[in-house]
A and B are shown apart, each in its own frame.
Chain A
Amino acid sequence: AQKVTQAQTEISVVEKEDVTLDCVYETRDTTYYLFWYKQPPSGELVFLIRRNSFDEQNEISGRYSWNFQKSTSSFNFTITASQVVDSAVYFCALEGSGGYQKVTFGTGTKLQVIP
C-alpha cells in the first residue's frame, strides 16, 4: 500500500517569510509520480508540479521550489518570500505504477500568510 504523509496540519507565517511544506511518501513501486496541488479558498485544486521517480533534480519556479529526495522519501515544497495570495491548502499526492486509480493524496497543509 502507498501512503502520503503531510505532518503539518496548519502553518502560519508572516508575509515575506519563507515556508517549507513537508511531504513524506511510502510506496513499493519503483516508478511513480509525485504531485503538489494548491487549493485556494475558491475550492478547485490547482496543479503545481509533477515529478517522476527517476528525476531527483530539484526545481524552481519563481518563488516556488521543490526538493525531491528519494533517500528520505520526501518531496518538500518551499515558498520563498511568502505572499497573502499563497494562503491555501496544499496537497501532496503520489501516483503509483497502477495508474491514476492508484493516486493517493496527503491530508493537506493549510498555509496562512499574515500580512
Chain B
Amino acid sequence: DVKVTQSSRYLVKRTGEKVFLECVQDMDHENMFWYRQDPGLGLRLIYFSYDVKMKEKGDIPEGYSVSREKKERFSLILESASTNQTSMYLCASSLGQRTGPEAFFGQGTRLTVV
C-alpha cells in the first residue's frame, strides 16, 4: 500500500517562528503536494513538486516555501509563522503520468500558531 507519512499530527508554534512540516512517501511517486484545509474552503493547493528540486506555486503560496531534495521527501516551510496560518495541512503524492491519477494523502498536520 502507498503510504504518505507526515511527521507530526499536531503542532503548536509561536508567531514569528520558522516551521517545518515534513512529508515522506514510499511509492516512488513523482508528484508531491501540500494543501491546507480550512472549514468552508475545502482544500487549497499551496505548492506542488513534479520532480526532485522542482516546484510550482499553487493557489495560495504566499508565506510558504517548499523543499524537495529527495524524491520521497517534500517539506513545507513557514518562514515566519503567523496566526492566519493556523490550519490543517495535508501532504499528498501521485504518479507522474497524465492519466488523471488519484493522489494519496497523509493524515494531516494540525498546526496552531499562537
Binds B, one of A11-19, A56-64, A71-79, A96-104: A96-104
Alpha-carbon separation in the docked complex, A103 to B58 (Å) = 10
Stretch from B11-19, B40-48, B65-73, B78-86 forming part of the interface with A? B40-48
Smallest CB gap from B90: residue in A: A45
| B44 closest partner in A (C-beta) | A105
Which B-chain residue is minimally distant from A110 (CB atoms)?
B39
The total of chain B residues at the interface (CB under 8 A) is: 28
User: For A45, what are the chain B residues with a Cβ–Cβ distance below 8 Å?
Assistant: 43, 90, 92, 103, 105
Dominant SS among interface residues on chain B: strand
Check A50/B43 contact, CB under 8 A, given A100-B31, A100-B94, A101-B56.
no
Determine whether the beta carbon of B108 is less than 8 Å from that of A91: no
- Specify which chain B residues have a CB less than 8 angstroms from the CB of A91 in the assembled complex: 42-43
Taking the closest CB of chain B, its distance from the CB of A51, in whole angstroms, is 9
Whole-angstrom distance between the Cβ of A26 and the nearest chain B Cβ: 15
The count of residues in chain A whose C-beta lies closer than 8 Å to any C-beta of chain B is: 24
Contacts of A101 in B (CB 8 A): 45, 48, 56, 58
> Residues of A with Cβ closer than 8 Å to B?
4, 9, 33, 35, 37, 42-47, 50, 52, 91, 93, 95, 99-101, 103, 105-108
List 12 interface pairs A-B (beta carbons < 8 Å), by A numbering.
A33-B100, A43-B90, A44-B107, A46-B105, A47-B102, A52-B100, A93-B43, A95-B100, A103-B45, A105-B42, A107-B42, A108-B42
